[in-house]
Structures are given as structure tokens and as C-alpha cells.
Amino acid sequence: MREDLYPTRKSPEPSISPRRDPVIHARSLAGHPIAPNEIAFYEANGFLVLENVFDADEVAVLKAQAEAMRDGRVPAAPPTIISEPGEAGAGAVRSIFAIHQQSNAFASLCRDARLADVARFLLDDEVYIHQSRLNYKPAFRGKDFYWHSDFETWHAEDGMPRMRALSMSVMLSDNHPQSGPTMFVPKSHKSFIACVGETPVDHYKSSLKKQEYGVPDDASLRRIVDEGGLAAPAPKAGSVVIFDCNTMHGSNSNITPLERMNAFFVFNAWSNRLEEPFAAAKPRPEFIAHRDVPTPLPRSSQSRAIAS
């Protein structure tokens, strides 16, 4: 019987346990692609904002591609397009998944050394894309993403065995404090919150619009916020936000006229590839959690992978 280091959705009571994996897997700072103080901040807090990673011309190319995919001018497979929930969303696009498989621009972006080399260093392994998507927080209609640890879902529903993955969000528009930027609970990545409730069959069909299983209980949230506080960075377009797979995060609804848009990539260590789900009857579809990946991401020799 395989060992489950992070049991969740199996007990009638929530619980908090210490993380059993390192945050920084690199054994030394040799060849570090980001500054040592940035590495230390990420290790301590579970997230990091890197400003001005991509220039205005590169952002313009990526944003134009994201808008074309949202508007249907560049076709995306229908199952990968997720709309906002409820009548108030009026069919507005919430997310498009598997973007690195549907767009040459985003395929180049995830291989770009400014992203992939940082992931390789922090995870100390070759990497592959576990999940990619465009996140749209539409003006006036963008709904919230409730508090969650990505790893809890990836472990329970996808079969990711260890905390050896991270997310990178590339800002395609300026963020504003009022338009629902991603909020983080600093230091929350050091503890694992086991959630309650058995995973429903085909849970992804509802959870991608509004997640109700795999979300932390109120008491656990209060505890980690009391310990770590709240952070809501609002970086400019071209910035990159990196966060650990287990960092608690969420975002408020956007009732402003200011749209928020980002390209989101999950880099998983090649040695941490998916197994059978730990708390679900069957794996989620391939476009949400990639299993059919024959080789790690190729290393890019280009210093500027995004053609303007």
C-alpha cells in the first residue's frame, strides 16, 4: 500500500499538520537565477513577486493572444474554456486551460528561461507543465476564487505525491488593489490543512467555476492568518508572481471596470509525476492535469523567447 504523506478528505474533522517536504529543493545557491534575498523571501513566505520580467512588447504579444483566445478569434477546444458561474457572469470567460498546447506564444512562454530555469532551480529537477491556463478576471463580472491550497487539490484529485511543484503567474495587465488581485497567506505553505468532505464524481465540472470541496475550514483559516497575516500584491503587467504549491491563496470578485488577466503555469518536478488520485475515484481530465507527458520541458537557448 502506498504511503500518503498528506491525507485529506478522509476524516470528518479538519486538521493542520507540518509540511514534510522542503520549500527550496536546491542544495546550494550555485547558479541561482534569482537573487539570494529573493530566494530567502520565497522560502519564508511561500510567494515572490518579480517585477519587469517581460517588456512591454512581449506583454503586448501575449495579451493580444489571450484576448484572441477569449474572443474565439484563435480557437480553443471547448472543454478547456470555463465560463463565470451564475447569471451575473453572463457567460464571461473565467479561464482557458492547456494554453501551452493550444498557442505557440504560450508554448514559448512556459519554456522561456526566465520562468523555467527558476522553476528548475527551486525544485532542483527537470520540470514539466502540470497545468496551464489563462485566468481572466472580467471587468464588472469577475467572480472570486475562494481560499485554497493548490496542492490539496492536486494531491487529492490528480495524485501529485509530494510538495515539489510551484506556480508562476505572468501578469498580462496591470493589477490593482481594487480589482481582485490574488491574496496570499504568508507562511501558510509550511503547514498542510486537511479538508473534509468526500470528493464528488467529476468534481472539476463545478469546482473550476466555484470550489466547495477541498477548501479550508474557517477555524484553520483564522489560525494561519493570525500567524502569517495577509498579502495582496498588485504587480504591473510584465511581472511574474511565483508561489509554492501549498501556499494558501484566493481572490475577491472584480466589480471595477478594470480587467485582470494573467497566464498561469504550474511547473512540477519530473520526479514528482502524477500517480493515482489520493482522494478521488478517478483522475481529472488531461487538459486540467497533464499525465501524458513523455519528456521534461526542453531547455531554451534563447534569451528572449517571445517574439514581438
Q: What are the structural domains, with CATH classification, of the chain?
A: 17-170+184-253 (2.60.120.620)
Query: Residue 1's pLDDT is what?
Result: 75
Alpha carbon 77 to chain centroid distance?
21
Query: Residue 188's pLDDT is what?
Result: 98
Contact 89, 140 (CB under 8 A): no
Give the DSSP letter string of 203-261: THHHHTTS--SS---HHHHHHHHHHH--B---PPTT-EEEEETT--EEE--B-SS--EE
Please name which of 145, 308, 172 lies closest in space to residue 235, comparing C-alpha atoms: 172
Rounded Cα distance between 247 and 228, Å, is: 11
Give the DSSP letter string of 37-56: HHHHHHHHHSEEEE-S-S-H
Residue-wise pLDDT tens digits, 117-158? 999 999 999 999 999 999 998 888 888 889 999 999 999 999
Q: Where are the alpha helices (DSSP H) in 78-165?
A: 86-89, 104-111, 113-123, 150-153
Query: Residue 304's pLDDT is what?
Result: 62
Query: Residue 302's pLDDT is what?
Result: 60
189: left (phi over 0), alpha (psi -120 to 50) or beta: alpha
The pLDDT averaged over each successive group of 10 residues in the chain (308 residues) is: 93 96 96 97 98 98 97 96 72 93 98 98 98 92 88 97 98 92 97 93 72 86 97 97 97 90 97 97 96 95 60
Contacts of 112 (CB under 8 A, 6+ apart): 300, 302, 305, 306
Residue-wise pLDDT tens digits, 207-232? 666 677 788 999 999 999 999 999 99
Rounded Cα distance between 182 and 295, Å, is: 31
239: left (phi over 0), alpha (psi -120 to 50) or beta: beta
